[in-house]
Amino acid sequence: MSIAPAARKNVVVFRKLPDDLLERIRTWHDVTVADPRSADDLPRFREALQDADGLIGSSFKLGAEELSRAPHLRVISSISVGVDNYDLGYLKQRGIALCHTPGVLTETIADTVFALIMAASRRLVELSDHVRNGRWTRNIGEDLFGWDVHGKTLGVLGFGRIGQAVARRAALGFDMPVVFHDPFDVQVPDRLAGYAVRASFDEVLERADIVALTLPLSDETRGLMDAKAFASMKPGAVFVNGSRGAIVHEDALLAALDSGHLRAAGLDVFTIEPLPQDSPLRTHARVTPFPHIGSATHETRRAMAELATDNLLRVLDGEAAISAFDLSKV
């Protein structure tokens, strides 16, 4: 079935979508697929913006300058939970709806954060490389021992859906006391009552053996983890980041690792992604880097793409999105 030409809108798909979802959008609207991250596609992407009513995609910065090329734009449907790629003030001012994909990726990102905790503390990637590179010629010695995760105090910075899912894994699976900080008045879920306690930002840093960052990137959180914050962490603590790289001063983190104040870091996100070849974080002995795999499983990426497609089609059809980002507080 298709709809009358007048009701058809122009949609720009700026990140790969599964074929069936692309076809679903094509049933109702006229679609241009153009990936602005490819230099070849960028001119076509920009040309398509001129008539675009809706955009769907992720992983590309859409600031005021870029969006000013799209005078008819009504909705951006982001295939991500994070919305830091968009100029929120500009979207609000122009009345452009922004949708994102919270909820469907919570457990997968929490798995990733927990994998960072395990990998950094137990040196899993380094030790796996030890085997792969043919260096396992006799039993490993103390110099390659790791650090227990179970029973350690976990500090969670950002106690939203993802922070709580990480805390659940830690408290109920690994017998870890949890101390958390969140800028909002978040309630401790029943399952974590008695395991998780609220504290100030400074207290979390001072009390935790392992600190996990699960805050969104915003003007308030940019650069939050600076030299002072790392100095406040316990000597020998582990730091992991599964949210956004720009919340961390990477030079300050490197200094805290180099001085031996921090034991190790597990990082899924970086200020510049992909991580530049010359970044010391790529090969640092105390850093376990992942290539931003937070939500990267077949099931979750599929669920995100479906939700983003539903959001887009609804808004273009004049209905409320399933998961609109609330721009009213911006």
The footprint of ligand DGY on residues 88-117 (CB under 6 A) is 105
Q: Which stretch binds ligand DGY (CB under 6 A): 75-83, 135-143, 188-196, 245-253?
A: 75-83
User: What is the distance between the alpha carbons of residues 312 and 320, in angstroms, rounded to a whole number?
Assistant: 10
Active site residue 206: no
Closest CB to ligand DGY among residues 81, 254: 81
Query: Is there binding between residue 221 and ligand DGY (CB under 6 A)?
Result: no
Applying the rule CB under 6 A, the residues between 291 and 330 that interact with ligand DGY are: 294-295
DSSP state of 221: T
Cα 140 to Cα 146: distance, rounded to the nearest angstrom: 11
Residue with tokens 């697929």: 33
Query: Nearest 5°: phi and psi at 31?
Result: -120, 135
Query: Is 249 assigned a catalytic role?
Result: no
Q: Judged by CB under 6 A, does residue 80 bind ligand DGY?
A: yes
Of 165 and 205, CB closest to ligand DGY: 165
Catalytic residue from among 292, 301, 306, 314: 292
Q: Which is nearer to ligand DGY, 80 or 121 (CB)?
A: 80
| Cβ-based neighbours of 97, under 8 Å, separated by 6 or more | 74, 75, 76, 91, 315, 321, 324, 327
Indicate which residue of 23, 220, 273, 299 is catalytic: 273
By three-state DSSP, how is residue 175 classified? coil
Q: For 265-295, give one letter per residue: b (16+ CB within 10 A) or e.
A: bbbbbbbeeebeeebebeebebbbbbebbbb
| Torsion sign across C-alpha atoms 58, 60, 65, 68 | negative
Residue 214 is a binding residue for ligand DGY (CB under 6 A): no
Give the nearest distance from C-beta 81 to ligand DGY in angstroms: 4
Site membership for ligand DGY, residue 177 (CB under 6 A) = no
CB nearer to ligand DGY: give 161 or 249.
161
What is the 8-class DSSP label of residue 186? P
Tokens representing 295 are 């939500």
Site string for ligand DGY, 23-62 (x = CB under 6 A): ----------------------------------------
> Which residues would be at the binding site for ligand DGY (CB under 6 A)?
80-82, 105, 294-295
Q: Would you name the residues annotated as active-site residues?
A: 244, 273, 292
